[in-house]
Amino acid sequence: MAKKSKKQQQSGGTPATVALTAAGVEYTVHAYDHDPSHPSYGEEAAEAMGVSPERVFKTLVADVDGSLTVAVVPVAGQLDLKALAAAVGGKRAAMADPALAERTTGYVRGGISPLGQRKKLPTVLDASASSHTTICVSAGRRGLEVELSPTALTKLTDAVVAPIGRI
């Protein structure tokens, strides 16, 4: 995996890649042509990159007891809202209003990254990530993914690792 230079960041970096560079984390950026008619952003990314959907993770924003929380789960599955609430010591979780998620993170739906958010939110990474050397998450815009180690993602987001995804 290649680290991006500051010059590369200035010429098209996102807050996510800037955060990775600032932290000195090794990562690889994967760009692809986003098709607005594709029914799933995550599945589209996996197909376009030729990566198993179990290694491509989607970033979802949920409301847990009145607080926004980020859930990072494989695109091959779904988020278990009860498990997410339990992982952060909450009682009840529901998907956040998309407009609120966009305003709070600074990213558009389908391009929300767990990294470099406008407001750092509590984050939970699905435990299945630990079974992979690297995983892919949104780099901050549709058609752009970043590949990094699950350990690096956990450290940079201060994530809790818990079984929050279901196939």
Beta pairing class for 123-126 and 160-162: parallel
pLDDT in tens, 102-153: 999 999 998 999 999 999 999 999 999 999 999 999 999 999 999 999 999 9
pLDDT in tens, 47-104: 889 999 999 999 999 999 999 999 999 999 999 999 999 999 999 999 999 999 999 9
Cβ atoms of 135 and 56 closer than 8 Å: yes
What's 56's DSSP letter? B
Cβ atoms of 4 and 27 closer than 8 Å: yes
Q: What is the pTM of this model?
A: 0.90
11 vs 55: CA distance, rounded Å: 28
Cβ atoms of 43 and 75 closer than 8 Å: yes
Token readout for 116 is 């470099």
Q: How many residues does the chain have?
A: 167
160 vs 87: CA distance, rounded Å: 7
